[in-house]
Amino acid sequence: CSILNVFKTATAKGASTRAHVLATALALFRDKGFDETTMREVAAAAGLSLGAAYHYFASKEAIILAYYADVQDQHGERAREALAATTDLRDRLAAVVHTKLDVLAGDRRYTGNPTHPLSFLGAATRPLQLASMRVFDEALGETTLPAELRRIAPTALWALQMGLLLYFLYDDSPNQARTRRLVDGAMELVVRLLTVIRLPFF
């Protein structure tokens, strides 16, 4: 039992240290830039030896991948919590996008630049893109649509979200209120179009 407790304590400490290294590295990337920041600087800022830093992340690229995973984990958690609160399709689809905006709000200045490692437009974000599509698939739930449309709908909604995110990056209204209104209006239009598609035609 004592051995198990020691193992749990060590595991929890390791997870806490890893999260600290990740947060420290991201702060440096945002402040100095990805290319200008070295792993040695990350280790020093985190209060670790270089070897200890490499124990948690093999490279700066591994840190960025961990950032992507954290973004999607946060988005998935927030979106599913919002989805559990409503069965209205428009509200469900809007909730997926609104929660994405919430997660990315702090990185607006980086995420739209395809050359920046924190960009959602970068090549390394493919797993994040697929995970985001799955959240839209959950939001659609048991929505009755023609089979082919139901299959491609999550991808189409993800593409719409990408356009909304680009608008979000350049929105200088307080708390990006214009983007929030645009999201709600866009999802209202999507639901109306889906309703028309579901109608029988003779």
Q: What is the pLDDT of residue 110?
A: 63
Successive 10-residue mean pLDDT values, the chain, 202 residues: 50 86 91 89 95 93 86 92 95 96 80 63 72 93 87 94 90 94 96 80 44
- Claim: this prediction has a pTM higher than 0.85: no
pLDDT of residue 122: 63
Between the alpha carbon of residue 173 and those of residues 136, 152, 167, 181, 185, the distances in Å are 27, 33, 11, 11, 17
Query: What count of Cα atoms within 13 Å lies in the side-chain half-sphere of residue 115?
Result: 2
